Amino acid sequence: MATVDYRSLAEGIVREVGGEDNIVSAAHCATRLRLKLRDESKADKAAVEKLPGVITVMQAGGQYQVVVGNNVPSVYAELGRITKLGGDEAPADGDDAPKGNLFNRFIDLVSSIIQPIIWPLAAAGLLKAFLSMAVQFGWLNVESQTYVILAAAADAIFYFLPLFLAITAARWFKANQFTSMAIAGALVYPSIVALGAAGEPVSFAGLPVVMMNYTSSVIPIIVAVWLQGYLERFLNKVLPSALRNFTTPLLTILIMVPLVLMTVGPITTFIAQAISSGVNAVFGFAPWLAGAILGGFWQVFVLFGLHWGLIPIITNDLGTQGYSLLTGPLLSAVLAQAAATLAVFVRTRNTARRQVAGPAALSGFLAGITEPGIYGVNLPLKKPFYFGIAGGVVGGAIAAIGGSAANSFVFPSLLSIPAFTQVGNFTLQMIGTTAAVVIAFTLTFLFGPREAEAPVAAQPGETTPPAPSTDGSLADVGAPATGTSSGATAATATLPTGTATATEVAGTVEVLAPVDGTAVALAEVPDKVFASGALGKGLGIVPTDGHVHAPISGTVKAAMKSGHAYGIKSPGGVEVLVHIGIDTVQLDGRGFSPAVTRGDQVKAGDLLAVVDLDVVAEAGYDPTTLVVITNTAQLAGVVPTAQGTVTHGQPAVTVQI
């Protein structure tokens, strides 16, 4: 496909499927452009299949799948340049969100939307931790202008969090991101914040508006952008094209800002007030139970913005009696989540996760800033978040039994512990806090997900540089290949004892089984494109273990962000696609832990990824792992050899170069 003009191909696909207006969303997997069409009858399947570069077209699972092979990222990138449907960095459409129970889908949605800003959140949280430490030890005066400037630098991303989330949510829900930012900006606009703080009745066009504080909130703006997407698509459909460009954002902002203020605010405020009244009532007859509720679910309240219903009570208590019993359990709630994050840092072998978890745990412990840890580590992994809640429940109950409370408004953290020494039983506060930390850390360390270790990079001289591609297939996905080796080059990969060796000797290559399981003929795989051999010859393996290994030594030329597919090119020019499961791109990474990225050098037998087969099964997808030689047409011969039960590392396909 070296001669294929990707721009022309993308334009042709859009034209033949009925135009951009007929495309609801676009995404791609390892080999296919996946389109959701408003009306599939408008698409000319035969015309699409005749386009240069298109292998075939499939209509399945509510999607119009255009199979273009390994060059699909290039076609998708061009699609993003000529339409408003996305591009290289655009996530899957919100409608393609991971399947599963509603709560897990919600967690995955929130985690995916927040993920792009995790690094700035972690950095700002670390800065807040250092500022808190500097103030605590008297190195910096909070009245100084230096502190004010540094505090603004550290606080801005948290205060204006809805603005940042507006961008990522807009990309997820396929809404106009600048209109989303305008809506978010209105929610945190100084005069709107002041209206909420004043506590006086507010109305809009004669209708009452129940105000709340939207700064640092997460859920309101996500809901707003979700609704915005539907509104924009409706307006773009009914408005004349001559007016659409400026009328759509005008009407969207005009409708969405008052709508959010009049719906999200009242609903959130009502729930928050109900929680606040309930917790206060429980404190009257069962302090331990109220402490357990606050200690366990404070971070959940923060996630939904419901904690703002408790803040006025805490502030009032501090002003009238000098302390608030509601603050006692919060130390356990915050430090338990920080401890769970720290356990992930210690336990995980995923370098990227460790890089987030380390500073996130530090900012949680020292400054009480848990957003980086929760959104970047605990919530996406789920179990650490649950274990943090468990620790908070126990610690909060113990602290409440002792009547512990802070005598000033502080972020619960290690540095704020002196604020808890004057009211109630400080010993029980420390016992509860310690219990919360120990429980969260221990449970996460023992039972949390153990993510895959990235493979060790090949040392110089161990792997021959990849040969330049002559057909433009895998080489087009990543950086241009370098080197001068030919198909006759010999390269031997060393595997652990007891496994076969993948070799390229005298023009013969043994491609190994990437997983343990049962081999099946490619024609029996429940996917028409793979089964037809359109993407190349190979076989399928129904896995019995979730560890997926490299079937050949070479360069990783393609590594899907979702972790479900990998393309490897050997030094001799053999191109192998390892595709984990059928249609598992729909999981959008849930259950997959990649161990390699594009450009990595791997040896046969190195770990590519770890997949949770239970997650795949629960979501209703076939876990069959495919091993396909994608440049079969350029090779002398490709013969699948594995039959029956196989173990990873055993020869599976013999290739003649």
Q: Is 29 assigned a catalytic role? A: yes
Rounded distance between C-alpha atoms, residue 467 and residue 486, angstroms: 6
Backbone angles phi, psi at 516, to 5 degrees: -80, 145
Residue 512 DSSP one-character state: E
Parallel, antiparallel or unpaired: strands 517-521 and 202-204: unpaired
Residue 579 among the catalytic residues: yes
CA 496 to chain centre: 33
CB 339 within 8 A of CB 434: no
Helix (H) or strand (E) holding 570: none
Q: Determine the Cα–Cα distance for residues 599 and 413; give it in Å rounded to an integer.
A: 41
Annotated catalytic residue within 29, 549, 564, 648: 29
Q: Are 378 and 341 in contact (CB under 8 A)?
A: yes
Instruction: Outline where DSSP puts E strands in 188-328.
Output: 202-204, 207-209
Q: Could you tell me how many residues make up the chain?
A: 657
- On whether the CB atoms of residues 526 and 624 are closer than 8 A, the answer is yes
- The CA distances from residue 617 to 8, 457, 580, 613, in Å, are 39, 32, 13, 6
The residues facing 379 across adjacent strands are none
Residue 549 pairs in a beta bridge with: 607
Q: What is the 3-state secondary structure (H, E, C) of 609-641?
A: EEECHHHHHHCCCCCCEEEEECCHHHCCEEEEC
| Tokens read off for 609 | 């990824």
Phi, psi (degrees; rounded to nearest 5) at 565:
-150, 145
Bridge partner residues of 25 (DSSP) = 36
Cβ contacts of 442 within 8 Å, gap of 6 or more = 343
**Residue 263 burial (CB < 10 Å; 0-12/13-18/19+)?**
middle
Residue 465: which H helix or E strand, with range? none
- At 342, is the secondary structure helix, strand, or coil? helix
Mention every residue, 6+ apart, whose C-beta is less than 8 A from residue 286: none
How many other CB atoms sit within 10 Å of the CB of residue 19?
12
d(CA 108, CA 104) in angstroms, rounded, equals 6
| Cα–Cα distance, 569 to 434 (Å, whole number) | 52
- Please answer whether residues 477 and 598 qualify as being in contact, where contact means their C-beta atoms are separated by less than 8 angstroms: yes
From the candidates 28, 307, 549, 579, give the one annotated as an active-site residue.
579
Q: What's the rounded Cα separation, in Å, for the pair 442 and 242?
A: 62
Strand locations in 162-220 (E):
202-204, 207-209
Amino acid at 281: A
Q: Where are the beta strands (DSSP E) in 477-585?
A: 504-505, 508-512, 517-521, 537-543, 547-549, 554-559, 565-569, 575-580
Handedness of CA 335, 337, 340, 345 (dihedral sign): negative
Q: Which helix (H) or strand (E) holds 235?
A: helix 219-238
* Beta-ladder partners of 59: 64
Closest CA to 318 of 208, 463, 419, 448: 419
Cβ atoms of 622 and 628 within 8 Å: the answer is: no
DSSP-derived secondary structure letter, 308 = G
Q: What angle do CA 268, 306, 382 make, to 5 degrees?
A: 115
Nearest to 411 by CA among 379, 444, 367: 367
- Cα–Cα nearest to 55, from 41, 66, 42: 66
Active site (catalytic) residues:
29, 579
